[in-house]
Amino acid sequence: MKNILIEDKRAKSKSFFLKKSHNLFDNKLLGFIKKNFRKFKKDLRICMHDSPDANHHDMIILQQRSN
């Protein structure tokens, strides 16, 4: 996944940016987000925008259920 994603080390939760904004969320990314969510047991997101400074933010978030 290193060729597709860049980890955002400054984010409060585990976050990744797509290297190219035209990438699609596919089964590889779905597998990656599920695997890492199980591994770290924390909320995880993949940002579909290029950077934190982008005008519009879209993201896929896998979040724990709070009771």
What tens digit of pLDDT does each residue of 11-51 get?
A: 888 898 887 765 677 888 889 888 988 898 888 988 887 77
**Which pLDDT does position 19 carry in this prediction?**
79
Cα distance between the two ends of the chain: 32
List the one residue out of 6, 51, 4 whose CA is nearest residue 29: 4
Domain that holds residue 41: 5-62
Residue 21 in domain: yes
This model's pTM is above 0.85: no
* 43 three-state secondary structure: coil
Residue 67 lies in a domain: no
Q: Is the pLDDT of residue 56 over 80?
A: yes
Kindly state the DSSP code that residue 64 receives in the 8-state scheme: P
Domain total of the chain: 1
pLDDT, residue 23, reads 65
Identify the pLDDT of residue 41.
Answer: 86
pLDDT at position 3 is: 79
Residue 25 lies in a domain: yes
